[in-house]
Amino acid sequence: MAGVSGCLKYSMFIFNFLFWLCGILILAVAIWIRVSKDGQEILSSETNTNVAVNLLIAVGAIIMILGFLGCCGAVKESRCMLLLFFIGLLLILLLQVVAGILGAVFKPQSDRIMNETLYENVKLLSTSGDTAKEFQKALVEFQEEFKCCGLVNGPADWGNNFQQYYKSCECPTSTDSSCTFYEEKYVYKQPCISLIKDLVAKHIIIIIGIAFGLMVIEILGLVFSMVLYCQIGSK
């Protein structure tokens, strides 16, 4: 072990062991979403969610492999494994930077697409097809949780289905200023579109925060692995 710092070696091992555990956690959550009953309902109605879950599975698997390479490279003092770990982590870091730049550049377009999609989905509330029923079920749950009614224009969005689904957005009291009287029912007058946009924006902020945190960890991993790689080479 002459020439190799024991502290750095085992710090690298612990770092990559935690990195490996993060990969397992991400992979487990993604697989649970894929195989669970509730997850299947979400995936069958949302193509974007399906893509996101596939991406999570890929990311979790890659992080597990990199964590394994880092752990073994540190314990066995393998320059080959450490170099593979360094290259893999560097590629992930570069992809994150590129994704961040593309996200900033295309944010106006993504906001416009989301807005158009929500307005287009209003039609599903007043119809009775299988796809429409799946979307209606999702919105009913959203209405119950966030105290809103309809998607864009309020309770009128439900059309002939209003009497079937009004319970999910019914007001507890008629004196509440956030309620309105519609088809002999007191329901929340705020449409859900603004709340959906706020929820998406909050999730994006959380994702950005996690991404920056990961970038700091990745940079530390790059530094540790390269220093250890150089120390092993100079033994």
pLDDT of residue 52: 64
User: Phi/psi at 200 (nearest 5 deg)?
Assistant: -65, -45
Q: Does 115 share its domain with 99? A: no
**CA 198 – CA 229 distance, rounded (Å):** 46
Residues 188 and 227 occupy one common structural domain? no
Say whether both 83 and 19 belong to one domain.
yes
Q: What is the mean pLDDT of each run of 10 residues along the chain (235 residues)?
A: 66 83 82 63 49 74 87 86 90 83 80 85 88 89 91 91 90 82 90 89 80 82 86 74
Rounding to the nearest 10 degrees, give the CA dihedral for residues 99, 104, 106, 110.
100
Same domain, 150 and 223: no
Are the CB atoms for 73 and 199 separated by under 8 Å?
Answer: no
Return the amino acid letter for 149. Answer: C
What gap in Å lies between CA 107 and CA 17, rounded to an integer? Answer: 35
Instruction: Verify that 100 and 201 share a domain, yes or no.
Output: yes
* Residue 43: per-residue pLDDT: 46
- Residue 192 is predicted with a pLDDT of 92
**Which pTM was predicted?**
0.65
Residue range(s) defining the domain that contains residue 37: 6-107+197-233
Kindly report the CA angle at 145 between 167 and 47, in degrees rounded to 5? 100
